Amino acid sequence: MQFFNSTNKENSLYHDCLALLGLSSSDVTSYSIADFTRSANEAYKLTNQIIWQSTGEWEFDDSNYETLPVATRDMVANQKDYLLPSYAQKIDRLEVMDNSEDWQVVIPFDKAMEKDAMTELYSSTGLPKYYDLVGDSLILYPTPDATYCTLTAGLKLYFSREIDEFAVDDTTKEPGFNSDFHRMISLGAALDWAAPKGLNLMGGLQNQIKDMKENIKKFYGSRDRDLKVRIIPPYKLYK
């Protein structure tokens, strides 16, 4: 469903939300589009989290983005600390380019498993083999060395990013996940509106959300993790 379609209200998340609450499709006052937008984005984030929890190693990305979730940057000789992109939500894979310009996979490192002092670990430089995440930083071990690495555009990060949030003035934009579950947005927003008012329909909304959560988990959890599939809307959205 689209975010706000005033012509085809059957294909509009906003108007679906109004219907769930028993409000008229022309009543844009009781539940303003601004309030709906805020609640819709919270429901969007929750759905994104459910999908990630269900897929494990499955590569999910919000299809509203035009670009693939890959970031490449230069490495600096003798520098092991690199700031992560602000929009990266989960690190899926890291690669470095060796001195033959071939990409090599860098393995996640758990410093809790290392018995020696961190200052002694890979104190020399070389081709990074491991990485650690500390706050917003990516730490490479050993520290990159131009003798072993291609520094220019030699660090490649595959990541999952945050949702592309709805704006108040969005119209035809759709959630970036399977259309069978778009109603999680309108259901979540409807519950947000009903909860403070203590309405009797809250139980029904909660049950529908619970059922849809289970269906989302089954759908995304059953996909073949060896297949790299992006969920694409019926038309391309450009930012």
Position 226 confidence tier, pLDDT thresholds 50, 70, 90: very low
Q: Is the dihedral of CA 70, 141, 52, 18 positive or negative?
A: negative
Mean pLDDT of the chain: 86
- In the predicted structure, residue 211 carries a pLDDT above the cut 90: yes
Nearest to 18 by CA among 172, 189, 209: 189
The per-type count for the chain, helices as H runs and strands as E runs, is: 4, 9
- In the predicted structure, residue 121 carries a pLDDT above the cut 60: yes
- In the predicted structure, residue 181 carries a pLDDT above the cut 70: yes
- In the predicted structure, residue 182 carries a pLDDT above the cut 90: yes
At 160 the pLDDT is 82
Distance between CA atoms of 56 and 26, rounded to whole angstroms? Answer: 42
Structure token pair of residue 209: 């959300």
- In the predicted structure, residue 145 carries a pLDDT above the cut 80: yes
- In the predicted structure, residue 234 carries a pLDDT above the cut 80: no
How many other β-carbons are positioned within 10 Å of the β-carbon of residue 47?
23
At 113 the pLDDT is 62
Q: What is the DSSP letter of 67?
A: S
DSSP structure string for 116-174: S-GGGTT-SEES--EEEEETTEEEEESEE-TTTB--TT-EEEEEEE------TT--S--
Q: Where do we find the tokens 């289970």?
A: 214
At 225 the pLDDT is 42
Sequence-separated (6 or more) residues with CB below 8 Å from residue 132:
108, 109, 110, 111, 138, 139, 141
- In the predicted structure, residue 82 carries a pLDDT above the cut 80: yes
Q: What is the DSSP letter of 35?
A: H
Domain ranges of the chain: 9-62+163-221, 70-161
- The string of pLDDT tens digits covering residues 192-204 is 999 999 889 999 9
At 109 the pLDDT is 81
On whether the CB atoms of residues 2 and 11 are closer than 8 A, the answer is yes
- The string of pLDDT tens digits covering residues 19-63 is 999 999 999 999 999 999 999 999 999 998 888 878 765 566 787
How many other β-carbons are positioned within 10 Å of the β-carbon of residue 21?
20
Helix, strand, coil shares of the chain as percentages rounded to 5? 35, 20, 45
Average pLDDT over residues 108-132: 76
